[in-house]
Amino acid sequence: MDGGIAVLDYGIGNLGSAHKAFVHLGADARLVTDPDDAAGAAGVVLPGVGAFGRCAQALRSTGLHRAVDDALARGVPFLGICVGLQLLYEGSEESPSVPGLGVLPGTVRSLPAGVKRPQMQWNQLVIRPGADSGLLAGIGPEPWVYFVHSYAPELSDDAVATCDYGGAVVAVAERGPVWGAQFHPEKSGSVGLGILANFVAVCGDPPRRA
Which residue numbers are catalytic? 82, 184, 186
Euclidean distance between CA atoms 76 and 47, whole angstroms: 17
Of 197, 196, 166, 198, residue with least CA distance to 183: 196
Euclidean distance between CA atoms 33 and 14, whole angstroms: 14
Of 187, 168, 181, residue with least CA distance to 198: 181
How many angstroms separate the Cα of 59 from the Cα of each of 141, 164, 166? 35, 30, 31
Q: Say which amino acid occupies 47.
A: P
Euclidean distance between CA atoms 2 and 107, whole angstroms: 35
Helices (H), ranges, 87-209: 189-202
